[in-house]
Amino acid sequence: MPTPRLEVTAARKQFPGVLALDGVSLILAPGEVLAVVGENGAGKSTLMKVVAGVYRPDAGEVRLDGRPVRFAGPADATAAGVSLIHQELNLAENLSVADNLFLGRERTTAGPLRVLNRRATAAAARDLLARVGLPADRAGRRVEALPPGEKQLVEVARALGLDVRVLIMDEPTSSLTQRETETLYGVIAGLKAAGVSVLYISHRLAEVRRCADRVLVLRDGRNAGELTGAEVTHDNMVRLMVGRDLNRFYPRVHRSGAGAAVLEVRGLRYAGGPDTPASFEVRAGEVLGMAGLVGAGRTELSEAVFGVRRVTAGEVRLGGEPLRVRSPADAVAAGVLLVPEDRRLHGLVLEAGVGFNLSLPNHDRLGSVLGVRPRAEAELHRTWIDRLRVRTPSAARPVGLLSGGNQQKVVYGKWLARGPRVLILDEPTRGVDVGAKAEIYGLIDELAGRGVGVWMITSDMEELLGMADRVAVMHEGRVAGELAGPALTEEAVMRLATGGAAA
Strands (E), 319-385: 321-322, 336-339, 367-368, 371-372
Most confident of 168-177, 335-344, 434-443: 335-344
Contacts of residue 369, Cβ cutoff 8 Å, sequence gap at least 6 = none
Interval 313-323 mean pLDDT: 95
pLDDT given for residue 252 in this prediction: 67
Beta-carbon count within 10 A of 23 CB: 14
- Give me the percent of the chain exceeding a pLDDT of 70: 94
pLDDT higher than threshold 90 for residue 131: no
Q: Report, in this order, helix, strand and coil percent for the chain, each rounded to 5.
A: 35, 25, 35
pLDDT given for residue 386 in this prediction: 93
pLDDT higher than threshold 60 for residue 77: yes
Pairing of strands 287-292, 470-475: parallel
Tell me the torsion sign for CA atoms 311, 315, 316, 318: positive
What CA dihedral angle connects 463, 464, 468 and 474, to 10 degrees?
Answer: 160
Interval 139-149 mean pLDDT: 84
Pairing of strands 321-322, 311-318: antiparallel
pLDDT higher than threshold 60 for residue 491: yes
Q: Kindly indicate the confidence band of residue 283, based on its pLDDT and cuts at 50, 70 and 90.
A: very high
pLDDT higher than threshold 90 for residue 4: yes
pLDDT given for residue 55 in this prediction: 94
Could you tell me which residue, 268 or 206, shows the higher pLDDT?
268
pLDDT given for residue 248 in this prediction: 57
Residue 37: how many CA atoms within 13 Å on its side-chain side?
Answer: 30
DSSP at 230: G
Interval 258-286 mean pLDDT: 92
Report the Cα–Cα distance between both ends of the chain, in Å, rounded: 51
Interval 75-97 mean pLDDT: 85
Q: Kindly indicate the confidence band of residue 345, based on its pLDDT and cuts at 50, 70 and 90.
A: confident
- Bridge partner residues of 265 (DSSP): 280, 316
pLDDT higher than threshold 60 for residue 58: yes
**Rounded distance, CA 331 to CA 420, Å?**
10
pLDDT given for residue 256 in this prediction: 60
**Rounded distance, CA 377 to CA 454, Å?**
27
Q: Kindly indicate the confidence band of residue 156, based on its pLDDT and cuts at 50, 70 and 90.
A: confident
pLDDT given for residue 236 in this prediction: 85
Interval 121-142 mean pLDDT: 87
pLDDT higher than threshold 80 for residue 385: yes
Q: Which domains does the chain have, with CATH numbers?
A: 6-242 (3.40.50.300), 258-335+421-503 (3.40.50.300), 352-419 (no CATH)
pLDDT higher than threshold 70 for residue 40: no
- ∠ CA 91-94-100, nearest 5°, is 40
Nearest CA to 447 among 478, 470, 420, 468?
420
What are φ and ψ of residue 131, in 5° steps?
Answer: -65, -25
pLDDT higher than threshold 60 for residue 246: no
**Rounded distance, CA 124 to CA 206, Å?**
33
Tell me the torsion sign for CA atoms 196, 200, 205, 206: negative
**Rounded distance, CA 52 to CA 89, Å?**
16
DSSP at 459: S
Nearest CA to 435 among 26, 8, 38, 19?
38
Nearest CA to 208 among 33, 395, 429, 31?
33
For 6-18, what is each residue's pLDDT tens digit?
A: 999 999 999 877 7
In DSSP notation, 408-420 reads: HHHHHHHHHTT--
Distance of CA 192 to the CA centre of its chain: 25
Q: Kindly indicate the confidence band of residue 72, based on its pLDDT and cuts at 50, 70 and 90.
A: very high
pLDDT given for residue 272 in this prediction: 86
Beta-carbon count within 10 A of 455 CB: 27
